[in-house]
Amino acid sequence: MDPAQAFSGALWFDVVTRRRACASLPDRVLLHAGPPFRDAPPAPVWNATIQAVLFEGWVSNEHDAQALCASGGVEWQPAQDHGVVTPLAQVVSPSMPLAAVRLGNAVRYGAVLEGAPPALRFGSPAAVCRDRLASLGAQLIGSVAPRLQQNPLSLAEPIRHGIARGDDGHARTAAVNDELLRALALAHGALRDTLNSMAAFALPLLMAAASAALEERQGAVTALGGNGVEFGLRRRDDPEWRRTPAAAPRGDRFADCEAIDPLPAIGDSVVVDYCGLGGLNDAPALRAALLDPQSGIVDIDRVVASAEPPIFNLAILDAAGERGLIGRGTYRPDLALFRR
């Protein structure tokens, strides 16, 4: 099976702010990964929320940002309910940049990554994260967006290139990123150097393409992800998320992080695995058993029949929101989530 089958026809065609992508969404709504929160968000998402408030300039300091959020001055909503996908703990506010991807009639938006740790997606409170995202967003919208509007870039070919060279399309995207940037053909300069140094820059594009594929290919599932408390999915015939308590991903911890309490599964990036990459790319027998051969997307009926949930690659974050990224692993949701 073609590893990029689900992504065939996906095009990166623009970079826009969330305000432009979701014009009807109020500014004080912040978009997060996975299903809706029942209560307050976990610490890494709270950190990202404070960062978003400061990024927007709604207040001038962290103390006032904390007070604004604690008093109900912002509202959290699932990103995928608004055609946006966001990695890990990162929340998306109105001025943040999004990569726009089209597949057939479906358009989805991926939150742009600002760089290596410390980073918003890991729940870092460092001000440098905001500065890097503002700078990169301005450059992408100013110089990359116009050329994409004229000549959208295929994502299927970079995926095939990357998989052939050892990427999985989720945890490993360096070769995908290299091929994508080769096709973009940026002039030598700071922006090209920045994007070349960010192996994960391609991931939100693949996330947006996968989310578009879930919509365009007419499968049973249109959204899935974790919010750091619960993991959930949304069926095409049901506007409400089905959810279950999430466990932490299992995998390798960094040398000094073994004793740190890990955050339960978080992130919208699991849509990539659901389209045959990531954890399923690394488990070919399971991939063959679960993927629909026509769409290249996991078939929920095959999951139930096999009693084998998909494997999702996910980073492991510090639950306390202090250390950020503490390892990398895999997550398999409760099989009950897939049953009617």
Q: Structural domains in the chain?
A: 5-338 (3.90.1700.10)
pLDDT at 272: 98
pLDDT at 1 over 90: no
pLDDT at 52 over 90: yes
Per-residue pLDDT of 152-187, as tens digits, reads: 999 999 999 999 999 999 999 999 999 999 999 998
Task: Give me the chain's average pLDDT, please.
Answer: 97
% pLDDT > 90, the chain: 99
pLDDT at 14 over 90: yes
Concatenating the DSSP letter of every residue in 34-98 gives: SSPPSSSPPHHHHHHHHHHHHHHTSSSSHHHHHHHHHTT-SEEEEGGGGTEE--TT--B-TTSEE
CB 297 within 8 A of CB 291: yes
pLDDT at 340: 82
pLDDT at 55: 98
Per-residue pLDDT of 264-279, as tens digits, reads: 999 999 999 999 999 9
Strands (E), 123-271: 153-154, 221-227, 230-235, 241-245, 250-253, 266-267
pLDDT at 77 over 90: yes
